[in-house]
Chains A and B, each alone.
Chain A
Amino acid sequence: MKSLAVVIGLALAVTAAAQTPYDILLKGGHVIDPRNDLNAARDVAVKDGKIARVEANIPASEAAKVVDVSGLYVTPGLIDLHVHVYAGTGARRGYNGDSSIYPDGFTLRSGVTTVVDVGSSGWEQFEDFKDRVIARSKTRVLSMLNIVSAGMTSGPEEHDTSEFDPEATAKMAKKYPGVIVGVKSAHYRHPDWTSVEKAVEAGTLADIPVMVDFGSNYPDARPLADLLTKKLRPGDIYTHCFAGNRDELLYETGKINPGMFAGRERGVKFDVGHGGGSFRWDVAVAALKQGFPPDSISTDLHVGSMNRGMQTMIRTVSKIYNLDVPLYDVIKMSTSNPANQIKRTDLGHLSVGAVADIAVIRDERGTYGFADSRGARYTGSKLLVSELTLREGDVVWDLNGLAGVHWKDVRERRRGQGRGRRRGQR
């Protein structure tokens, strides 16, 4: 008799779940989905890890779980186009080691569901990176291969042209399409164009974009304007665009380098790549004033940036937001724009059928200080805060317990009942 009641109860529960069309419903939020030109109050329903419906007033009764997100912004999961997450190798100085960090502790809490590791590994180490980090992370980790076969060692390899192998790089990229989404040229300290040219060669062979960190500044031998107007292809990406290290801002005149505008005209994309040394307020302020916003906002997350001015993706986005860029635009620069740049148009939007990678963001007002990579402070009035993050429909971050239940309403599992889970096997 008792077991019959249990069976009936179970059947009812199963039926209830089967009858609700949606697993989770984000109710009452304001959706910003630039790819779909959407900037309005909408409910978002998720089923089986995918976006099932985006509409005004989806009834709460149609979802197994309803999360009240009124007063908050609902956006696609952010895409951080510039990170270093090839951690754990034990290599002491390199970004293919100690200078990298594991992604999950920095991404989800900041609304980020996809990161692109740009050049920490080259083709030689990519499969180790894949096994060690990409395959073990909740965050979607994509990669741009360093044109340096040995990757970002922070050693002489990065400046040794015999390490640049476009064919091997393109071959590895073609083996993992969609995961390897670009080629990186970085840190090159010699006055020739070899690093850039070889990266572009690899990018052309594999039909993927190139991202350039322009290394040492050689205003005569390889000027920025030549890179942007002659060397890079449309669709290639110039990162650290507000670094001020390579004549992005011409200090004598206070003008943004005309080559930047010319490059943009050709279709070259400009990425923030904040990092530990690559974001200056004087450059960013001048750029925004002179009509040069970035195409993509990214962190250049690594051990040297995480505890300094950069801090987190959501604060990096807040910085650009405080330069009088509309919220819709900064979300675009951290979702659909970077997705398009890496040709992963399946990401960065909330279209029905798309993977349910979602960020829920609070837009606070107050007085906030934002340090740049030199410790110079900009005082702003707006701060974005990551409240809730979903990855493939699962709640992977919930700052204030929006998706939780009041503790008194949770059925108590009392002491002494059962042996409990074995903690060591968690």
Chain B
Amino acid sequence: MTKFLPRLALLSCLLAGSLFAQYDLLLKGGHVIDARNDIDGLKDVAIKDGRIAAVADSIDTSKAEKVVDVSGLYVTPGLVDIHVHVYAGTGMKGAYSGDNSVYPDGFSFRSGVTTMVDVGSSGWRNFPDFKQRVIDRAQTRVLSMLNIVGKGMGGGEIEQNLDDMDADATAKMAKQYPDTIVGVKCAHYAGPEWDPVERAVAAGTKADIPVMVDFGYFREERPFEELVTKKLRPGDMYTHTYLGRVPLLDENNKPRPYLFEAQKRGVKFDVGHGGGSFWWFQAVPSVKNGFIADSISTDLHIGSMNTGMKTMANVMSKFLALGLPLADVVRKSTWEPARQIKRTDLGHLSVGAGADVAVFRLDKGEFGFLDVRGARNMGDQLLSCELTLRDGSVKWDLNGRAGTPWQEAQGSTP
């Protein structure tokens, strides 16, 4: 009996501690950037039961069971990467519905990403398989835009088959999973017809979700200008903004006026960096002269992960190198993409929101950034992800900030 008393006492102390603590976790001393709530300054962030419980100038450390010192760091909503390919594991060679995809969790949290949108790796025919194989098993929140091609991004002729582009079936599947399917993707089309874009838009209209277009071949029969000024609806997205063959710049290296018209109409431009879709010679003059992509995203896949793209934090750092303020870069990676996919529950730190949080260190120095052709641009700032929370639990902790010094850890010998 006496043997158990101390344990009981300890247990009740612990229970009382957690019961009485108002918050589970307190991120103390950081600089919060939360575009939705117009916050760009020093704030403490408290979390309870997986949700944001308080954001205030100073929250008493005694109110939290665990306090993590994040002074000198930036606290942002968990990033929303709206262009990835994560339909891995099918064994399909040379396809984004297979070997070209990666599993999400090894790439998301370590870069501050808590939500990913797989854009078009699966279509309505194989979405259920994608869901059970990846979405349901990932710790990252994985959302999907269905490819207008029923078989998804299977490569080669599969993606060129107009007979497998069915707006009704696509919209029907989207409506069946409204929490997960957030858009329709049209991609990689080589032919001269507008049909893939038109059917994607038809599916998007039926399901009341946006469309994202990768324009495939850029052909005279279907000019890019017409895509963004006429074919796409307000709220639809063009991805791969700074791809080499997009007609962005005029003879004087100035963005063409129709681009601003398109943005004014409400068409959104997404970065979608990828293995072939971000060229410095397009991005530098465009951004310098005011044509700036709305959302920053990676186009994560096996061909981009080890080349110029690398990680979401690296792609964001490229936009710092292009001269964008940090607050804009964060907004374009959180609240802006969340709005684009109509998931306004995500991408911010409002009280009551799910506690998906990223903590970044902003290093100063000399950093090189490659584009997709091996062209290098230099920057003097680099974002590194220090800490990532998903629904309030620590999923990444680069420097062990949420840990205890090893000498004090339970069971250690001197």
Contact = CB atoms under 8 A, between A and B. Distances in A.
Contacts of A375: 397, 400, 402-404, 409
Contacts of B153: 424
Given A379-B405, A407-B284, A426-B276, A87 B103 contact: yes
A410 interface: yes
A407 B377 contact: yes
A420 interface: yes
B176 interface: no
Interface stretch (B204-212, B243-251, B341-349): B243-251
10 contacts: A87-B89, A87-B103, A251-B413, A254-B414, A281-B412, A285-B406, A378-B406, A402-B368, A410-B375, A426-B303
A155 interface: no
Given A254-B414, A307-B395, A423-B214, A398 B409 contact: no
Chain B contact-residue range equals 35 or more
B260 interface: no
Interface in B304-325: 305-306, 308, 310
Interface stretch (A5-13, A42-50, A96-104, A210-218): A96-104
Given A132-B91, A401-B376, A413 B244 contact: yes
B370 interface: yes
Contacts of A303: 105-106
Interface of A: 87-90, 92, 98, 101-102, 104-106, 108-109, 132, 136, 249, 251, 254, 280-282, 285-286, 303, 306-307, 309, 311, 368-372, 374-379, 396-410, 412-413, 415-417, 419-426
A415 B248 contact: yes
Interface in B108-157: 109-110, 133, 137, 153, 155-156
B327 to A, nearest CB: 25
Contacts of B370: 398, 401, 404
B37 interface: no
A90 B103 CA distance: 12
Interface stretch (B15-23, B75-83, B215-223): B215-223
Interface in B211-237: 214, 216-219
B155 A90 contact: no
Contacts, number: 189
A415 B247 contact: yes
Describe B's contact surface by its main secondary structure. Answer: loop
B110 A311 contact: yes
B257 interface: no
Contacts of B373: 410
Interface string B263-279: 00000000000011000
B133 to A, nearest CB: 6
Contacts of A282: 406, 409, 411-413
B380 to A, nearest CB: 13
A286 B214 CA distance: 56
A392 B264 CA distance: 50
Contacts of B374: 401, 403-405, 410
B45 interface: no
Given A87-B103, A376-B404, A424 B245 contact: no
Given A375-B403, A376-B404, A420-B218, A401 B368 contact: yes
B156 A108 contact: no
B281 A410 contact: yes
Given A375-B403, A423-B187, A98 B371 contact: no
Most chain B beta-carbon contacts within 10 A, residue among A108, A368, A407: A407
Interface string B161-192: 00000000000000000000000000110100
Nearest to B397: A371
A281 B409 contact: yes
Contacts of B409: 281-282, 372, 374-376
B399 interface: yes
